Amino acid sequence: MKSCFRVVAAALVAAFLFPIATIVNAAYPDRPVRVIVVFPPGGSNDVTARIVFNKMPDIVGQQFVIENRGGAAGSIGAAVVAQSRPDGYTLMVQSTTHIANAFMYKGKLPYDTLKGFIGLTPLARQVAMLVVHPSMPVKSIKELVALAKTRPGEILYGSSGLGSYVHLNMAMFTSTSGTKMIHVPYKGGGPLSIAMIAGEVQVTASTVGSIYRHVKAGKMRGLGVTSAERLKQFPDVPAISEVFPGYEFTAWVGSFVPAGTPPEIVQKLNADLKKALADPGVAKQLTNLTLDPMYMTTDQFAARLKSDYVRYEGLMKEIGVIK
């Protein structure tokens, strides 16, 4: 009798412990999901997020609501996500700047860059374009370098924040070219573009996705791209490597959830984002802005994050951004 009672009791305990989590996760998502883009509207992170997550309701049947939380190269928004409940209802969209922030704000971040989040997947590859304000009397990389060398410390270059992909691109370019320009950081790609068009700064190396229409409209003049090859969308703009052999610096925009998010939800989001990125309409929108769709499994993305961490530390030391 006692043996029978133990079996029944064990079965009841298992019934209460196991199915609850299974049922909760199986129903996910049963309400709108918040997607925090850690930069202001208008930059490549924002553009990528809106294109990809606008497709998600068709796949999962719930809205994914974009919320911009810019500031401190994305670390302010990242802190909000890190402190959010790990239930799959708060996601983050951030770029490789997330890795750079670990070094730019070392000891000051309220989260651990690698341990505080789970990477779902990259969403798109980022390529930057070296551009100048149309009033600048240069039409090539060589002319810009020559001008900068005759005016050391006079030309202003803008970035989307300290340690951002744009900042590192410009730091790498000035280091490679042996020029000296003054850095002016802004709170994201959108504000940077406004400043460039207004002539507040004369040079930048912004992600192509965030300045595409401005270059096409003649509000910025493209001099070179940071990919190893020319872009089909801008065939007349050379790769910087054509002037400085071996020069290449591309990055990614990715999606994350807070550490502790249930594995079932993590894998479901990864699978759903894979479907969104494979959608022909989404892929076309991204590709037209040179934001090539980029999918990885969670294990692949975790490995990429670790390798980028090592690479960025070395790069930032090499170009003098950190000691």
Output the pLDDT for position 103: 92
**Domains in the chain: how many in total?**
2
Is the confidence at residue 19, as pLDDT, over 90? no
Is residue 131 a contact partner of residue 205, using CB atoms and an 8 Å limit?
Answer: yes
Structural domain boundaries, residue 120: 31-124+251-318
Q: Does residue 11 surpass a pLDDT of 60?
A: no
Comparing 18-32, 139-153, 265-279, 283-297, which segment has the lowest mean pLDDT?
18-32
Instruction: Provide the pLDDT confidence category of residue 24 given band limits of 50, 70 and 90.
Output: very low
Last residue of one domain, picked from the residues 182, 213, 242: 242
Q: Is there a single domain that holds both residue 257 and residue 205?
A: no
156-159 and 117-132 as β-strands: parallel, antiparallel, unpaired?
unpaired
Residue 146 belongs to some domain of the structure: yes
The predicted structure's pLDDT at residue 220? 98
Whether residues 94 and 151 fall in one domain: no
On average, the pLDDT of the chain sits at 91
Domain boundary among 192, 223, 242: 242
Tell me the helix, strand and coil percentages in the chain, rounded to 5: 45, 20, 35
Is residue 8 in some structural domain?
no
The pLDDT of residue 257 is above 60: yes
209 and 186 Cβ atoms separated by less than 8 Å: no
Give me the percent of the chain exceeding a pLDDT of 90: 80
**Nearest alpha-carbon partner for 94 in 268, 206, 286, 256:** 256
- Same domain, yes or no, for 80 and 119? yes
Residue 5 has pLDDT above 60, yes or no: no
12: in domain: no
**pLDDT surpasses 60 at 116:** yes
User: Do 40 and 61 fall into the same domain?
Assistant: yes
Range list of H helices, the chain: 2-26, 44-53, 56-60, 75-82, 97-104, 141-150, 165-177, 189-198, 208-216, 263-278, 280-288, 298-318
CB-based contact 257:84 (threshold 8 Å): no
226 in Cβ contact with 168 (< 8 Å): no
Supply the CATH number for residue 270's domain. 3.40.190.150
Is the pLDDT reported for residue 129 higher than 50? yes
Residue 60 has pLDDT above 70, yes or no: yes
Q: What is the rounded average pLDDT of the residues 116-120?
A: 98
Verify that 131 and 191 share a domain, yes or no.
yes
DSSP alpha helix (H) spans, 88-198: 97-104, 141-150, 165-177, 189-198
Neighbours of 234 (CB within 10 A): 18
Q: Are residues 62 and 151 in the same domain?
A: no
Q: Is residue 236 part of a domain?
A: yes
177 with 102, same domain: the answer is no
104 pLDDT above the threshold of 90: no
- Is position 5 within any domain? no
Name the more confident of 85 and 105. 85
Last residue of a domain, one of 214, 242, 270: 242
pLDDT of residue 26: 64
Kindly state whether residues 141 and 238 are assigned to the same domain. yes
Q: Which of 23-37, 70-84, 162-176, 179-193 has the lowest mean pLDDT?
A: 23-37
Tokens of residue 15, six digits: 């019934």
The confidence score (pLDDT) of residue 9 equals 46
pLDDT band at 316 (very low <50, low <70, confident <90, very high): confident
Tell me the CATH number at 165: 3.40.190.10
The predicted pLDDT at position 17 comes to 46
pTM assigned to the model: 0.80
Residue 171 in any domain: the answer is yes
Q: Which residues pair with 95 in a beta bridge?
A: 253
- What would the mean pLDDT of 146-156 be, rounded to a whole number? 98
Q: Is residue 257 part of a domain?
A: yes
Clarify whether residues 73 and 157 are in a common domain. no
**Which residues are CB-neighbours of 94 under 8 A, at least 6 positions away?**
38, 45, 74, 77, 78, 253, 254, 256
Over residues 149-172, mean pLDDT: 93
pLDDT (0 to 100) of residue 156: 98
Does any domain span residue 169? yes
Q: Is the pLDDT of residue 14 over 50?
A: no
pLDDT tops 90 at residue 10: no
Per-residue pLDDT band at 54 (split at 50, 70, 90): very high
- Answer yes or no: do 116 and 134 share one domain: no
Residue 8 has pLDDT above 70, yes or no: no
Q: What are phi and psi of 123, to 5 degrees?
A: -110, -35
113 and 259 fall within a common domain: yes
**Statement to judge: residues 91 and 177 lie in one domain:** no
